[in-house]
Amino acid sequence: MKYWTEEFFGVKKPIIAMCHMQALPGDPKYDPRKGLDWVYERARADLLALQEGGVDAVMFSNEFSLPYLTKVDTITVACMASIIAQLKPAIRVPFGVNVLWDPKASIDLAMATGAQFVREIFTGVYASDFGLWNTNCGEVVRHQHAIGAGHVRLFFNIVPEAAAYLGNRSVTDIARSTVFNAEPDALCVSGLTAGAETSTQVLKLVKDAVPDVPVFANTGVRLENVEQQLAIADGAIVGTAFKVDGNIWNPVDANRVKALMDKVRELRRSLK
């Protein structure tokens, strides 16, 4: 099946690379001595390395804003918007945003910066490391259209990191009802945390349950498993595997990016 993602990203099974921003003002690990200019410089270096390595798209997130909020402060969105605005002349691929873990703020940031897609937790109720985690998809989607952001594609993470769904529902039931009730543009399936491998078994269950919607492997895709992951998934979101030594807190290593993307291009040729 040909999904909208193929035309949107220009390739089959696109790889969306994470461009993780350092801690921002208001975050516990923000370093005021280095300032926001340093956060920008680090993001720019990672962006250029990702593009040099040949990724299909990038997604900016406040990965270093630990511990995360489910309703972020205004300063976070403002700082991310400022940094992305400075980076835009250097962006050569489609880009998205993710304000962890706030779907409405993510859409606001997309509208402010011209981002074409967002990834977030839009549906469900969870017991998480950040407390009881509730959502209100109807409110968020209405907000999306109220601010004129109906064109922004929504990637729904239905297996959120560091959280468990409240209620005895299978992942296939969750996938089917999410697609019926919320009409997501794509579904994302994750491991336990950022960098943790996505279960191919869970990926297949979701993919088989909702064949008409693109399903992305959201965490843990790396050179050693990308062939297995993309045999099932319609694309992947990759962060940790692109970092120096495969450590999420390190800068992006363009050589690691190129190695994985070379493998992905090889896999794509076999699909023709």
CATH code of the domain containing 237: 3.20.20.70
Average pLDDT, the chain: 96
* Residue 272 confidence (pLDDT) above 80: no
* Residue 160 per-residue DSSP state: -
Type of residue found at 111: M
Q: Is the pLDDT of residue 29 over 80?
A: yes
Establish if 8 belongs to a structural domain: no
Least confidently predicted of 32-36, 168-172, 185-189, 242-246? 168-172
pLDDT score, position 192: 62
Residue 4 within a domain: no
Sheet holding 131-133, edge to edge: 131-133, 126-128, 163-165
Asked if residues 17 and 258 have their Cβ atoms less than 8 Å apart, the reply is no
What is the pLDDT at residue 161?
84
Write the CA distances from 178 to 79, 124, 166, 169, 186, integer angstroms.
32, 9, 15, 12, 11
Torsion of CA 79, 56, 88, 63, to 10 degrees: 10
Predicted local confidence at residue 243, as pLDDT = 98
159 — pLDDT class (breaks 50, 70, 90): confident
- Beta strands 126-128 and 131-133 are antiparallel
Mean pLDDT within 213-221:
96
First to last CA, the chain: 13
Q: 197 pLDDT band (50/70/90 cuts)?
A: confident
Radius of gyration of the chain (CA): 17
pLDDT > 70: what percent of the chain?
Answer: 98
6 domain-assigned: no
Element (H, E) at 111: helix 103-113
Number of domains in the chain: 1
The pLDDT of 81-109, averaged and rounded, is: 98
pLDDT at 193: 61
Question: Residue 149 belongs to what domain range?
Answer: 13-271
Is 244 within a domain? yes
Distance of CA 49 to the CA centre of its chain: 18
- Give the 3-state secondary structure of residue 152: coil
Which structure tokens are listed for 179? 């697609």
Pairwise pLDDT comparison (197 vs 233), residue with the higher score: 233
| Residue 5 resides in a domain | no
| CA 172 distance to own-chain centroid | 21
Mean pLDDT of 57-82: 97
In a domain, 86, yes or no: yes
- Our CA angle for 8, 10, 13, nearest 5°, is 90
**What is the model's pLDDT at position 195?**
64
pLDDT at position 194? 65
The answer, yes or no, to whether residue 80 has pLDDT greater than 80, is yes
- The mean pLDDT value for 146-158 works out to 98
Mean pLDDT of the region 102-121: 98
Nearest to 117, CA basis, from 90, 157, 87, 79: 157
Q: Which residues contact 169 (CB under 8 A, 6 or more apart)?
A: none
Q: Considering the domain boundaries, does residue 55 fall inside one?
A: yes
Helix (H, G, I), strand (E, B), or coil: what is residue 7?
A: helix
Is 7 a member of any domain? no
